[in-house]
Structure 1
Amino acid sequence: MKNRLKKFDYGLIIVILALSVFGLIMVYSSSYTLATRNFGSGHFFFLRQLQWFGIGLIVFVVMSFISLKKLGEMSPLLVGLAIILLALVLIPGVGVVRNQAQRWIGAGPIVFQPSEIVKVFMIIYFAHIYTRKQKYINDFKKGVMPPLVILAFVFGLILMQPDLGTGTHIVLICGLIVLFSGVKFYHIALLGSVAAGGFYFFAQSQPYRLQRLTSFANAFDDPSGDGFQLINSYVSIGTSGLTGNGLGNSVQKLGYLPEAHTDFIMSVIVEELGIIGVTFVIGGYLFILYRGIQISKEVDSLYLRLLALGITFQFITQAFFNLGAVSGLLPITGIPLPFISYGGTSLVFTLLAAGILVNVSGRRTQPSTTQQETR
């Protein structure tokens, strides 16, 4: 235990906690007006997020010390549980409908989103199963294909919610784990082609999906409809400057920018804190990317390496999708900004995944020189 504590990547821990605390501050700032108007208390969303952060912090600590070997062995059961939750979402009366989407389960006062749980469980499962299949990794039918059937089933359930963005994100993360596991390039190219073809088919199979995926490129063609949210995000970004308008001084959050405390919280960060705020957030994610890759290089187990890379790229691709949507470079997918956006399930399971990454860092055989010097 003491040896593992010495090997923990404390720089990584500090950045993760700094982003999470910063997220609490920005949730409070971006939601105060909405919370006052709808609930009579400007602290409503902040206090709920603070409660979830407390739970997430406990989960983070527990996952930092849990047996990763046992966690991998439990992964098929965890994925099975996640699939059951995804199926329950689709049952009328059990699944909760918000904004014309049925993506949540309500249990009394608690409402949670199973797709956020699935995201982490699939990473653990794929890291575990592709480590065990190394003897057959060049055999497509026996070594590569079986876990992908589970992935396709999970994707289908998420698509029925409907949530093409989260489904695509999970497929991308799992695809990266397959790539890192040593699968033949030919098989990767084949799978990539199938995935791209499938994405195109599902994107154009429903008019609203295609409209949402293309409206970001022509936001001003429908300023009061599909382009409304993105245009107001542009206004937030365009009025920021170097230091922004000051913490709490966003104008767009006063009812102009929908989802200001969730998917588009970065717009408020830019408007209030300017380039300095952007640099802090993006710098934090780049540090996590750097340390995650370094940790994967410093462990002597393929399973640990795949876990580290899978979780690292979960954070980075999720941030990429969110920041791309906010800036108008990518379609709006509804994917939250990790550690920062409002949302209990997202925050708790993001911290759970972060705890696993810290756990892996404690199992390095040769921590980097830089890390040793900072202790």
Structure 2
Amino acid sequence: MNATPTTDRPDQTHERSAGQRFDYVLLCAALMLLCTGMVMVMSASGVMASRQWGDPYMFFRRQALFTVAGLGIMTLCYFVSRRAFYALTYLWLVGAALLIVLTLTPLGVEAGGARRWLRLGGFSLQPLEFAKIGLVFYLAYFFSHKQEQVKTFSVGFLPPVMITGMLCGLLLLQPDFGGAVFLCGILFLMSLVGGTSLVYLGSSVILGGGCAWLLISQEPYRIKRWTAFLHPFENAQDSGYQLVQSLYAFGSGGWTGAGLGAGKQKLLFLPEAHNDFIMAVVGEELGFIGVSLVFLVMGTLLWRGFVVALSQENIQDRYTALGMVLVIAMGAVMNMAVVLGAAPPKGVPMPFLSYGGSSLFVSCFCVGMLLNLSRRRAG
């Protein structure tokens, strides 16, 4: 992807003759994941919703509302010219930063010792999700316009690091260490593809790893999460409880699972069963086959997303498509790493499946942009 940028001429208002077909496979994969998410949220949340709200369908109705809104966002992103989004690149960044700052004010909602959400009426908004989109638009713009200087330190390396560092610094004030790691992952991967010097990238990884360990070692709760990740069964009644229950859910599912709605871990044994750990419910109720099918559909969506990225002639379109795929891919990989015990516990929702509006809206936004770019419109 390290190539000379191309731009569309003003009179190119028609679609190019090649590669204009709408990507139906990408759309079908996204719709299948959305439908699976609604079914699994209904199955996983009934007991908790009944206990908290006296209504077993409370979370399901909200997820249905989020899904309808997400489809609206996807449709909007498909029809609106990508140039309109590109023109708002810096507004995306400023808006995301302001939303994160607002979480540190009385408008922020505190939960689990962190202020990561904003209360909007009866719903909550997580600014981190929108910071991901803002960072992708900025990095796509940066690497498409700085290709001739991308190997330099002052022009090609320092600016994106500073912008990402600002967002990460605000997230650490919440604190949201995992969110900062997510944004750094986007920066690293897009910089790697964008042509940044491997010397600078390698040095930043080493420095970033040292800083991450320093942040972990200074906070007792992060140390507890680390020990729970390494030895969950030694802390099965404390910091390792959630991971242990998740592993029990996967282990009891076998090949075919206990059957949809017949899982036991969601009976208040597994915290956040309908949210970050919804894949554990999928594993218990639908078994290895069900989890594999979810992986297959998710893999199909990511494959089509990468195809869209590689098919772009305009380099900013290419980087934008890549960033949208990375947002979904990194979310899915990090979620599964946590629920399977391959990474320290961190609240990362599974794209399209986990309960919640912020993650679902951003996932639908990414798919809408990819569908838009799949037609490679010039306008």
Name the TM-score, length of structure 2 as normaliser. 0.92
Alignment pair present for 1:21 and 2:8:
no
Counterpart Cα distance in 2 of 1:191 and 1:7: 40
Match of 2:70 among 27, 37, 56: 56
Residues 298 and 364 in structure 1, CA contact (< 8 A), matched pair in contact too: no
Amino acid at match of 2:26: L
Q: State the match for 1:98 in structure 2.
A: 111
User: Which letter does structure 2 place at the counterpart of 1:33?
Assistant: V
Does 2:319 align with 1:306?
yes
Counterpart residue identity of residue 79, structure 1? L
In structure 2, stretches of 5+ residues that fail to align are 1-12
Q: Is the 8 A contact 1:126 1:147 kept in 2?
A: yes
Q: Which residue of 1 aligns with 2:6?
A: none
2:106 matches 1:87: no
Letter in 1 for 2:204: L
Q: Aligned residue for 1:111?
A: 124
Q: Which amino acid aligns with 2:155?
A: K
Matched, 1:329 2:342: yes
Q: How does 1:27-46 map to 2 (within 5 A)?
A: 27-46=41-60
1:281 lines up with 2:294 in the alignment: yes
Q: Which residue in 2 is equivalent to 1:138?
A: 151
Kindly indicate whether the alpha-carbon contact (under 8 Å) linking 2:14 and 2:377 is maintained by their aligned counterparts in 1: no
1:364, CA displacement in angstroms? 8.0
Q: 1:352 Cα deviation (Å)?
A: 0.8
Show the counterpart of 1:69: 83
- Structure 1, 48-57 or 101-110: larger mean CA deviation: 101-110
2:172 aligned to 154, 159, 180, which one?
A: 159
How many angstroms does 1:3 deviate by? 5.2
After TM superposition, the score normalised by the length of structure 1 is: 0.93
CA RMSD of aligned residues (A): 1.7
CA contact (8 A) 1:269 1:278 kept: yes
> Would you say the 8 A contact 2:272–2:278 is kept in 1?
yes
Structure 1 position 2, deviation (Å):
9.2
In structure 2, give the amino acid aligned to 1:230.
L
- Please say which of residues 63-72 and 336-345 is displaced more in the overlay: 63-72
Q: Which amino acid aligns with 1:183?
A: T
Q: Tell me, in whole angstroms, the C-alpha distance in 2 between the residues paired with 1:195 and 1:364.
A: 39
Give the secondary structure class of the aligned counterpart of 1:7: coil
Alignment equivalent of 2:217, drawn from 191, 204, 223: 204
Shift of 1:143: 2.3
Alpha-carbon distance in 2 for matches of 1:85, 1:330 = 28
How many pairs are equivalent?
Answer: 364
Distance 1:32 1:293 in 2: 37
Structure 1 runs not aligned, ≥5 long: 366-375
Give a deviation string over 1:96-142, Cα, whole Å, max 9, x none.
Answer: 01222211011222321111111111111111122111232122102
Per-residue CA shift, 1:188-209, capped at 9, x if unaligned?
Answer: 2222222222222222221211
Aligned 8 A contact 1:338 1:346 in 2: yes
Counterparts of 1:294 and 1:6 in 2: how far apart (Å)?
Answer: 13
What do the CA deviations read for 1:37-92 (whole angstroms, capped 9, x no partner)? 1101111001011111111100001111222223122111111011011001011x
Q: Counterpart of 2:7? A: none
Could you tell me which amino acid in structure 1 is paired with residue 55 of structure 2? Answer: S
> Deviation of residue 6 (structure 1)?
5.0
How many angstroms apart in 2 are the aligned matches of 1:152 and 1:6? 38
Give, as a single letter, the amino acid of the residue that structure 2 aligns with 1:144. Answer: F
In the other structure, the counterpart of 1:126 is 139
Matched AA of 1:76: Y
Give the letter aligned to residue 255 of structure 1.
L
Question: CA–CA distance in 2 between the matches of 1:288 and 1:54?
Answer: 20
Distance of aligned partners of 1:6 and 1:302 in 2 relative to their CA distance in 1, 3 Å threshold: closer
Corresponding residue for residue 187 of structure 2: 174
Q: Which structure shows the higher helix fraction?
A: 1
The secondary structure found in structure 2 opposite 1:143 is coil
Q: Secondary structure of the equivalent of 1:15?
A: helix
Separation of aligned partners in 2, 1:47 and 1:208? 34
Instruction: Tell me, yes or no, if the aligned pair for 1:73 and 1:128 is still in contact at 8 Å.
Output: no
- For 2:308 and 2:227, the matched residues in 1 are separated by 38
Q: Which sits farther off after the overlay, 323-332 or 206-215?
A: 206-215
Q: CA deviation at 1:180?
A: 1.1
DSSP 3-state at the match of 1:64:
helix
Judged with a 3 Å threshold, the aligned counterparts in structure 2 of structure 1 residues 29 and 237 are, in CA distance, closer, same or farther, namely same
- Residue identity in the other structure for 1:146: P
- Secondary structure in 1 matching 2:226: helix
- Alpha-carbon offset, residue 169 of structure 1: 0.8
Return the letter of the residue paired with 2:218: S
**What is the distance in 1 between the residues matched to 2:373 and 2:223?**
40
State the shift of 1:360 in Å.
1.5
State how far apart, in whole Å, the 1-side matches of 2:340 and 2:156 are: 40
Cα distance in 1 for residues equivalent to 2:127 and 2:157: 26
